[in-house]
């Protein structure tokens, strides 16, 4: 009876996971298959999952119809730069708040938590004014600098660093290590999974960022993939009249993220497990 319960439980679990996976993957499959269809096949009733004759030239036509190469470069470059800057300043701030003693540590942490609870849109006006005064509107520097600080990253890394016993850092200080050496040679390697998760979350959010970049950039050459895809929908896609090309363009935009997940899959799993242990 016990063996039967275990078998039934595992079967139910695997069936549920399979069903959820299909539901999650179906939009991507539909998008890719639609990029190979004609307009008539997209609107066919009943729906057609795979076209009778795949039109691979739709990808070439979409690529030639809009500068997707530029959009991809802009998004990858900006997102990667933001990730690098956030990792550095979030690591230093988190280390200071977790393993350094100073008078304003608790008030500063409280201010960080309060800032995290503010809606992002509440900072748009002040951020826009600051960038305007610094003459950073319509620039790569403006896109990067305006997202250089991550409240979530500071909080997440602080929680990870708190899991490292203070005795370890004290022993390193006795051996002559300074704060800089402790941070880069001990704290960061020991918290690598959390850093990887933070990097991935930051990269994805910045890669897909739409509203803020649209507010501070008007130059089409600075469009990220989200703004570029919308522009293509309006112009090259003729307001949705050329759905196969729109779906092909959408496939271009998610390809870097799929590659990123495929390459970093094992680190993602380790990082998620580490984050769960931190939250506990």
What are 34-56's pLDDT values in tens digits? Answer: 999 988 888 888 888 888 888 89
Question: What DSSP designation does 147 have?
Answer: T
Model pLDDT, residue 65: 87
Compute the mean pLDDT over every residue in the chain, rounded to the nearest whole number.
Answer: 85
Model pLDDT, residue 271: 59
The closest of 223, 184, 226, 190 to 205, measured between CA atoms, is 226
Structure tokens at 19: 């069903």
Model pLDDT, residue 277: 53
The pLDDT of 51-70, averaged and rounded, is: 89
pLDDT of 1 strictly over 70: no
Model pLDDT, residue 91: 92
Taking CB atoms within 8 Å and a gap of at least 24, the contacts of 259-266 are: 260/200, 260/203, 264/196, 264/200
Structure tokens at 93: 């701030």
Share of the chain above pLDDT 90, in %: 25
The pLDDT of 179-198, averaged and rounded, is: 85
The closest of 78, 76, 84 to 198, measured between CA atoms, is 84
Which residue's structure tokens are 């609107």?
Answer: 43
Model pLDDT, residue 179: 81
pLDDT of 158 strictly over 70: yes
The pLDDT of 104-133, averaged and rounded, is: 85
Which of 83-97, 175-189, 255-269 holds the top average pLDDT? Answer: 83-97
Model pLDDT, residue 275: 52
pLDDT of 278 strictly over 50: no
Vertex 94, ends 89 and 100: CA angle to 5°?
115
pLDDT of 128 strictly over 50: yes
The closest of 153, 137, 143, 152 to 80, measured between CA atoms, is 143
The pLDDT of 106-128, averaged and rounded, is: 84
Q: What are phi and psi of 37, to 5 degrees?
A: -100, 175
Give this prediction's pTM: 0.85
């Amino acid at each position: 009876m016990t063996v039967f319960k275990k078998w039934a439980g595992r079967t139910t679990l695997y069936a549920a996971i399979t069903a959820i996976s299909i539901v999650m993957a179906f939009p991507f499959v539909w998008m890719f298959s639609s990029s190979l269809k004609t307009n008539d096949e997209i609107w066919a009733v009943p729906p057609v999952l795979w076209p009778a004759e795949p039109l691979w030239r739709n990808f070439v036509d979409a690529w030639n119809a809009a500068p997707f190469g530029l959009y991809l470069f802009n998004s990858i470059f900006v997102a990667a730069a933001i990730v690098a800057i956030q990792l550095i300043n979030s690591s230093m701030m988190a280390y200071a708040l977790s393993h350094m003693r100073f008078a304003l540590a608790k008030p500063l942490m409280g201010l960080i938590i309060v800032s995290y609870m503010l809606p992002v849109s509440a900072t748009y006006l002040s951020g826009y004014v600051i960038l305007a005064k610094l003459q950073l509107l319509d620039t790569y520097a403006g896109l990067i600098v305006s997202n250089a600080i991550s409240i979530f990253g500071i909080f997440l890394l602080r929680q990870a660093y708190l899991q490292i016993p203070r005795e370890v850092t004290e022993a390193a200080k006795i051996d002559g290590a300074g704060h800089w050496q402790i941070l880069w040679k001990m704290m960061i390697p020991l918290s690598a999974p959390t850093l990887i998760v933070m990097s991935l979350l930051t990269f994805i959010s910045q890669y897909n960022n739409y509203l803020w970049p649209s507010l501070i950039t008007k130059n089409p050459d600075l469009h990220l993939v989200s703004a570029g895809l919308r522009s293509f929908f309006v112009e090259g896609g003729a307001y949705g009249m050329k759905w196969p090309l729109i779906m092909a363009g959408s496939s271009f935009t998610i390809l870097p993220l799929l590659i990123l997940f495929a390459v970093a899959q094992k680190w993602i799993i380790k990082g998620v497990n580490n984050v769960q242990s931190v939250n506990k």
